[in-house]
């Protein structure tokens, strides 16, 4: 009988435990409310975008999610950043007003909100905003721009003279966007690898967007020599620079020994005292180039250096270059410029050229081409020449680019001891390019190049405007205030938008030859 009581109690306990386990899930379920999907709407005013959330969980955190560009992501709506922007009220509603470019947003990007872990449907951030009664879409010179880090590009409005305003930048850590007041353009500059969408407006003309991608630079600035040699106290030597043709900065590790500067597409080096320096040249969008410079003692012979040609795969639109230059004198007494001496010049180029001309000491000499492909010229010395004499060699390639090399002849008056022939090898110096074509192909505007950097199309523009009596300044190839004023006068003359920038409409008119 005692055994039966034990068994009865055991089953009773099991029954009670089962009952409790069955009741607990039901009790827990009754405490959870059914999840609801929030609804997000966006409306824009003159200067704000209103975000309104309804139908969401009551008194819950609202997370706002927007696309984020990064170095490893260049696709919109792939990676999102989420931030807390507030809480819903007791009715499950929430409203906030923000500036159109808040969080780096710009028109056309998809955004959404999350409330209590439930996402709303994605909606599109306003593409244009009602600013001072604006209407239409702003026509821009470029809507897609590819840059390298440090490189910049100017964007112009094609259908308005209204002042531009940067309205949004989806990724300011990758691209900076600023308005250039001097020519009413937007300058976008690559800061880091990635992408950004820039929104720009111009009053009643409307707004437009520019998609900018930024990549790491792959091209390096190089030089026409691997190593450079100069002699202390002697005239400056010129080393060709292979790169974009304009350079931002130059560094010199030993300014006491070597003086270094950039002139056009040449690195100008002068020895001050015996020593060594490393000179680096940098340009936006390119890896800096460096060259070791040795400053030798006075009277030292400069070692012959092979000329390095411009990289054929670099994409540089380089003018033709000298590949070698040799200058010699037939004076048996060792006087390089002795009376009656013949100075012989022979040189080669890195590509086929025409219209080859040589001037030495200001005198043009005859040029012939030998069976070896080299060019030959000569100069007869009067014996009164004061070395060094300037030597200018020019030629034109098949693309119409003109190469001009400026050299000095006779940095030594005598040959080495025991020699009967005075000979020296001189490397290519300053090289500039200029198109033969008289067609305008690019945007031209004030400040497009650094002061002193000449542009062949600007020079052509100045020549055209001068012939029309609109430009009265000196033809320099630099687009300054005088050139801008002349362009404005030209645009006014032909009924074009008077903005002082040579854009598509002005370019078309110029190319008509009028």
Q: How many whole angstroms from its chain centre is CA 59?
A: 50
Locate 321 and state its tokens.
Answer: 């270059």
User: pLDDT tens for residues 188-218?
Assistant: 888 888 888 888 887 766 778 888 988 887 7
The pLDDT value recorded for residue 433 is 34
Same domain for 425 and 367, yes or no, is yes
180 belongs to a structural domain: yes
Q: What is the mean pLDDT of the chain?
A: 75
The pLDDT value recorded for residue 22 is 40
Count of residues for the chain?
514
Secondary structure (3-state) at 29:
helix
Same domain for 477 and 500, yes or no, is yes
Let me know the angle formed at the C-alpha of 342 by 340 and 344, rounded to the nearest 5 degrees: 170
Contact 151, 189 (CB under 8 A): yes
| Pairwise CA distance, residues 380 & 356, whole Å | 20
Same domain for 48 and 24, yes or no, is no
Same domain for 28 and 57, yes or no, is no
The pLDDT value recorded for residue 480 is 82
290 belongs to a structural domain: no
Q: Which residue has the higher pLDDT, 332 or 372?
A: 372
3 state SS for 392-421: EEEEEECCCCEEEEEEEECCCCECCCCCCC
pLDDT at position 401 over 70: yes
139 belongs to a structural domain: no
Q: Which residues pair with 502 in a beta bridge?
A: 444
The pLDDT value recorded for residue 272 is 94
Locate 127 and state its tokens.
Answer: 């593409």
The pLDDT value recorded for residue 513 is 75
507 belongs to a structural domain: yes
Span 288-308, average pLDDT: 81
pLDDT at position 12 over 70: no
Contact 161, 204 (CB under 8 A): no
Q: 148-157, 339-348, 426-435: which has the minimum mean pLDDT?
A: 426-435
Q: pLDDT above 70 covers what percent of the chain? A: 72
Same domain for 329 and 421, yes or no, is yes
Where residue 166 falls (left for φ over 0; alpha for ψ -120 to 50; beta otherwise) is beta
For helices 504-511 and 481-493, what crossing angle results, to 10°? 80
The count of structural domains within the chain is 5
Same domain for 325 and 430, yes or no, is yes
Same domain for 421 and 329, yes or no, is yes
Domain span at 485: 456-511
Span 264-279, average pLDDT: 91
Span 476-480, average pLDDT: 78
| CATH code for the domain of 495 | 1.10.101.10
Q: pLDDT above 90 covers what percent of the chain? A: 12
For helices 481-493 and 456-467, what crossing angle results, to 10°? 50
380 belongs to a structural domain: yes
Q: 260-269, 276-285, 297-306: which has the minimum mean pLDDT?
A: 297-306
Span 260-280, average pLDDT: 90
pLDDT at position 29 over 70: no
Let me know the angle formed at the C-alpha of 422 by 420 and 428, rounded to the nearest 5 degrees: 155
Give me the phi and psi of 492, to 5 degrees please.
Answer: -65, -40
pLDDT at position 64 over 50: yes
The pLDDT value recorded for residue 356 is 92
Q: Which residue has the higher pLDDT, 388 or 25?
A: 388
Q: Which residues pair with 431 in a beta bridge?
A: none
Contact 58, 90 (CB under 8 A): yes
Sheet holding 389-397, edge to edge: 363-365, 353-360, 389-397, 402-409
């Amino acid at each position: 009988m005692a055994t039966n009581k034990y068994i009865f109690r055991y089953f009773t306990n099991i029954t009670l435990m089962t009952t409790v386990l069955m009741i607990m899930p039901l009790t827990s379920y009754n405490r959870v409310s059914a999840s609801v999907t929030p609804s997000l709407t966006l409306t824009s005013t003159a200067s704000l975008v209103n975000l309104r959330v309804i139908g969401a969980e009551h008194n819950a955190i609202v997370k706002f999610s927007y696309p984020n560009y990064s170095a490893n992501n260049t696709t919109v709506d792939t990676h999102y950043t989420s931030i807390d922007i507030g809480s819903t009220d007791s009715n499950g509603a929430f409203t906030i007003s923000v500036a159109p470019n808040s969080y780096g947003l710009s028109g056309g990007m998809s955004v959404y909100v999350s409330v209590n872990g439930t996402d709303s449907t994605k909606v599109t951030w306003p593409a244009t905003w009602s600013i001072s009664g604006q209407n239409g879409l702003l026509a821009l010179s470029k809507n897609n721009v590819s840059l390298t880090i440090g490189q910049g590009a100017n964007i112009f409005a094609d259908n308005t003279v209204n002042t531009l305003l940067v309205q949004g930048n989806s990724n300011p850590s990758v691209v900076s966007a600023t308005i250039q007041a001097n020519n009413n353009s937007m300058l976008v500059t690559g800061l880091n690898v990635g992408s950004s969408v820039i929104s720009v407006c111009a009053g009643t003309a409307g707004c437009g967007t520019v998609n900018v991608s930024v990549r790491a630079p792959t091209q390096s600035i190089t030089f026409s020599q691997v190593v450079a040699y100069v002699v202390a106290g002697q005239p400056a030597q010129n080393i060709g620079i292979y790169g974009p043709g304009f350079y931002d900065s130059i560094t010199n590790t030993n300014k006491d020994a070597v003086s270094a500067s950039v002139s056009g597409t040449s690195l100008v080096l002068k020895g001050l005292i015996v020593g060594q320096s490393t000179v680096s040249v940098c340009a936006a969008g390119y890896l800096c180039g460096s060259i070791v410079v040795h400053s030798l003692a006075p009277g030292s012979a400069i070692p012959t250096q092979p000329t390095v040609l411009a990289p054929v795969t670099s994409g540089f639109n380089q003018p033709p270059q000298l590949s070698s230059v040799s200058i010699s004198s037939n004076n048996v007494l060792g006087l390089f410029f002795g009376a009656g001496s013949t100075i012989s010049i022979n040189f080669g180029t890195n590509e086929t050229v025409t219209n080859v001309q040589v001037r030495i000491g200001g005198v043009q000499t005859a040029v012939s081409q030998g069976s070896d492909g080299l060019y030959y010229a000569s100069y007869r010395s009067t014996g009164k020449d004061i070395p060094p004499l300037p030597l200018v060699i020019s030629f034109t390639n098949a693309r119409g680019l003109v190469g001009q090399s400026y050299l000095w002849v006779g940095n030594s008056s005598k040959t080495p001891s025991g020699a009967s022939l005075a000979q020296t090898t001189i490397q290519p110096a300053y090289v500039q390019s200029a198109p033969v074509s008289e067609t305008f192909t690019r945007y031209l505007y004030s400040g497009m190049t650094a002061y002193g950097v000449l542009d062949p199309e600007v020079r052509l523009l100045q020549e055209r405007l001068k012939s029309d009596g609109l430009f009265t300044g000196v033809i320099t190839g630099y687009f300054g205030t005088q050139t801008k004023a002349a362009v404005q006068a030209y645009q006014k003359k032909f009924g074009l938008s008077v903005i002082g920038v040579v854009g598509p409409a002005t370019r078309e008119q110029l190319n008509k030859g009028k």
